[in-house]
Amino acid sequence: MHSFFKPASGSGDGKKSSLTKSDNETENLKPWIEKYRPKCVDDIAHQDEVVAVLKKCITGADLPNMLFYGPPGTGKTSTILALSRDLYGPKFRDRVLELNASDDRGISVVRDKIKNFAQLSVSSLQGGKSPSFKIIILDEADSMTKAAQQALRRTMEKQTKTTRFCLICNYVTRIIAPITSRCSKFRFKPLSEEDQKKRLLRVAETESVKISEDAMDSMVKCSEGDLRKAMTFLQTAHRLKGDEGIAIEDVLEITGVIPDPVIKSFLNSCSSNSYENLLKTVQEISADGHAAAQLVSQLHDEIVIMPSLTDEQKCAITEKLATLDYCLNDGADEYLQLMSLGTLIQQQICS
C-alpha cells in the first residue's frame, strides 16, 4: 500500500515530460489547415498586393478599417490573424475580438459584444508595447442582417480613435454601401496552381507524405484555387493511404471528382439516340454513387469545348444545366434530373 502512494522517482521531471508529450500529441492531432496556418504576414501566399500594403501599415503603426473579400480558402482570415500577431505579439488575443458573423450576426451582438469591446480603453488591456488601437474581426460579414450592418456603421464612426474593424466576406455586394465606403477594400484572388503546389509540397515534405506528381497536379486542379480544400484533401489522402503513397485514383476518390470515362460514357449514350442506353448509363452512374451536382459541373466544361455542337445547341444544353443545378439545390431527385438532362442532350445532338 505504501508503494502504491509513493511518488515515482523524479516525479517532477516525469510530470514535465508528460506535459510536453501531451502538447506534442495535441499538435500532431491538429488539422493541417490549422497547424500550417501562416503565423506572419510574410508567410501569406500569392496575395502580393495585399501583403505589400499591410506591411507598410505595420511599419507606420497605422491601420484603416479593412474589408477582405474573395473566394473561400484564399487566406482572408489567415491574413488578418497574422497581421494581428505582427502588431501585438503573443498576447494579441487581448486586443483582438474575433466573431463569426454566421453565428453572431444580429443587431444585439453589435450593441453588446462589439460595442462593449470597442469602448474599452487600450490602457485597460494587457499587451506590452503595441499600437494604440484594438482590432475587431467580423468573419463572414456578408451573412449579417441589414439592421446589424446599419448599427455597425455608427459604432465604426464613434470608436475610430481606439478601434479598427476588419470585415471578411465572400460576396462584397452583400455589404451595405455605407460600410464599404468606410473601409479599405482588399480583394483576395484564387491561388495559382504553382503557389498551391509549392505550399502543398512543403507540407508533404514536413509530414513525410508520399504522393506522385500526377496526384499532386490532380489535387491542385480539383481544389480550384482553394488552398484550404487542397490541404484537407492532402491530409485525408495521407490518412487513407499511409506509407503506401498517394496515387491519382486516390485523389479522385477523395475529392468526389467523376472519372473522365464516366463523363464520356454519359455523352456517348446521349449520342447513340437510344433511350435504353441512356437509361442503363444513368442507372450505372447512380449505382456507383456519383453526385449529380458534380456531374453537372464537369459536363458543363465538356459541353463548352465540344466542337461537334453548334452555339445554339450549347446554349440550350447549358441552360438546362443551370436549371438542373437549381433543382438539385432544392432537393430534386437526382435520377430523374439526370434522365431529363440526358434526353435533352440526346434531342440536341441527334436532331
Residue ending a domain, among 255, 273, 289, is 255
- Considering the domain architecture, whether residues 41 and 174 belong to the same structural domain is answered as yes
Instruction: Give the DSSP H or E segment for 139.
Output: strand 134-139
- Which runs of consecutive H residues, i.e. helices, occur in 207-333? 213-223, 227-241, 248-255, 260-271, 275-287, 292-305, 311-329
Q: Is the pLDDT of residue 340 over 70?
A: yes
DSSP lists the bridge partners of residue 187 as 69
**pLDDT category, 25, cuts 50, 70, 90?**
low
220 in the same domain as 326: no
Number of H helices, E strands in the chain: 18, 5
pLDDT at position 103 is 62
* Residue-range definition of the domain harbouring residue 273: 260-350
Contact 230, 220 (CB under 8 A): yes
Q: Give the predicted TM-score (pTM) of the model.
A: 0.74
Grid coordinates in use for 343? 434526353
Q: Determine, yes or no, domain membership for 13.
A: no
How would you write 145-180 as a 3-class SS string?
A: CHHHHHHHHHHHHHCCCCEEEEEEECCHHHCCHHHH
Q: Is residue 28 part of a domain?
A: no
Name the domain count of the chain. 3
Task: Give the model's pLDDT for residue 306.
Answer: 84
In the block, cell 506590452 appears at 128
* Amino acid making up residue 277: N
Give a yes or no: residue 19 inside a domain: no
Inter-residue contact 121 to 151 (CB < 8 Å): no
Res 10: pLDDT: 43
Q: Between these two residues, 70 and 63, which has the higher pLDDT value?
A: 70
pLDDT level of residue 18 (50, 70, 90 thresholds): very low
Residue 7 resides in a domain: no
Higher per-residue confidence, 58 vs 247 = 247
